[in-house]
């Protein structure tokens, strides 16, 4: 079995695992977070804020309460004709990203860990990122399908090597391309050994292709991602 096929088999088995709940650590028992400051351009979408709750206006005028106690908010962004509000947050040993689907009737608040990348047609969005710190509110590769009344996660896996500098490179038709630096090219070197004294191997980028059709599958390769030669 090739390395790519072995990894693909492991990923396919893991994609149905539930996303763990967001970390419960906050700014600390003796730290009081400030009331979030709402930029003027977002005041028609964010109705108000306290230290505990950010109130987002849904597309139909409903209130979407986002519980933010113990977190600092920053870098507000809008996606897909203002349907989605994205924001970064940080707390005590916790960082993350939230996407609020203003069209959703339920499960409107989506933890993505980092800013997502939407497909060209706007029907999908994807994120990727796993670190050895495990301090994000989403440590995995995830894919969501955008429907008229909400967004549904269609793929999840954390069964990939721990890497650094995860990047969502681009969408190519029905495929989203990821890459990451292999964080352990020199793992296992013994101090004082000839191997340890040898020059360290340079880090290289691992390529991943998440194909949407005909089936959702994740494929690892050394070749450029989302190319016809590696399509399942």
Q: Residue 89: name the closest of 172, 33, 13, 170 by CA.
A: 33
Mean per-residue pLDDT over the chain, rounded: 81
Residue 16 bridge partners (DSSP): none
More confident of the two residues 95 and 147: 147
Q: Is the pLDDT of residue 90 over 60?
A: yes
User: Could you tell me the pLDDT band of residue 10, with boundaries at 50, 70 and 90?
Assistant: very low
User: With bands split at pLDDT 50, 70 and 90, how would you rate the model's confidence at 4?
Assistant: very low
What's the CA gap between 230 and 201, in Å, rounded?
26
- Residue 191, in any domain of the structure: no
pLDDT class of 107 with cuts at 50, 70, 90: very high
What is the structure's pLDDT at 9? 38
**Closest-CA residue to 151 (of 76, 98, 189, 198):** 98
Q: What is the pTM of this model?
A: 0.79
Q: How many residues are given for the chain?
A: 232
Give the pLDDT confidence score for residue 182 in this predicted structure. Answer: 74
- Domain enclosing residue 204, as ranges: 3-186+196-230
> Average pLDDT of 81-98?
90
Mean of pLDDT values over 113-128: 95
Grade residue 3 by pLDDT with cuts at 50, 70 and 90.
very low
**For residue range 16-25, what is the model confidence (pLDDT) as tens digits?**
334 434 444 4
**Please, which pLDDT band fits residue 97 given cuts at 50, 70 and 90?**
very high
Q: Give me 151's structure tokens.
A: 């967004």
Number of domains, the chain: 1
User: Tell me, what DSSP letter sits at residue 115?
Assistant: -
pLDDT the model gives residue 183: 64
Q: What is the pLDDT at residue 132?
A: 66
Average pLDDT on 83-98 reads: 90
Strands (E), the chain: 46-49, 53-57, 63-67, 72-79, 84-91, 94-101, 109-111, 117-118, 124-129, 140-147, 150-157, 163-172, 175-182, 205-211, 217-221
Give the model confidence (pLDDT) of 131-181 as tens digits: 666 667 888 999 999 999 999 999 999 888 777 788 899 999 999 999 988
pLDDT at 211 over 50: yes
* Structural domain contains residue 154: yes
């Amino acid at each position: 079995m090739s390395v790519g096929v072995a990894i693909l088999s492991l990923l396919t088995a893991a994609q149905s695992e539930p996303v763990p709940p967001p970390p419960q650590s906050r700014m600390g028992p003796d730290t009081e977070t400030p009331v979030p400051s709402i930029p003027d351009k977002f005041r028609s979408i964010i109705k108000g804020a306290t230290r505990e709750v950010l109130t987002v206006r849904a597309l139909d005028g409903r209130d979407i309460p986002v519980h933010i106690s113990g977190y600092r908010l920053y870098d507000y962004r809008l996606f897909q004709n203002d349907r989605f509000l994205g924001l970064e947050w940080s707390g005590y040993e916790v960082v993350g990203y939230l996407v609020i689907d203003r069209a959703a009737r339920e499960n409107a608040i989506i933890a993505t860990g980092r800013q997502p990348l939407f497909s060209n047609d706007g029907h999908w969005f994807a994120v990727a990122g796993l670190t050895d710190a495990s301090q994000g509110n989403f440590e995995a590769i995830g894919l969501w399908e955008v429907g008229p009344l909400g967004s549904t996660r269609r793929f999840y896996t954390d069964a990939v090597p721990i890497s650094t500098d995860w990047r969502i490179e681009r969408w190519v038709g029905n495929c989203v391309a990821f890459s990451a630096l292999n964080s352990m090219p020199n793992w296992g070197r013994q101090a004082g050994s000839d191997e340890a004294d040898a020059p360290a191997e340079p880090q290289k980028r691992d390529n991943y292709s998440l194909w949407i059709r005909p089936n959702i599958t994740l494929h690892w390769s050394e070749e450029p991602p989302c190319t016809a030669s590696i399509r399942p």
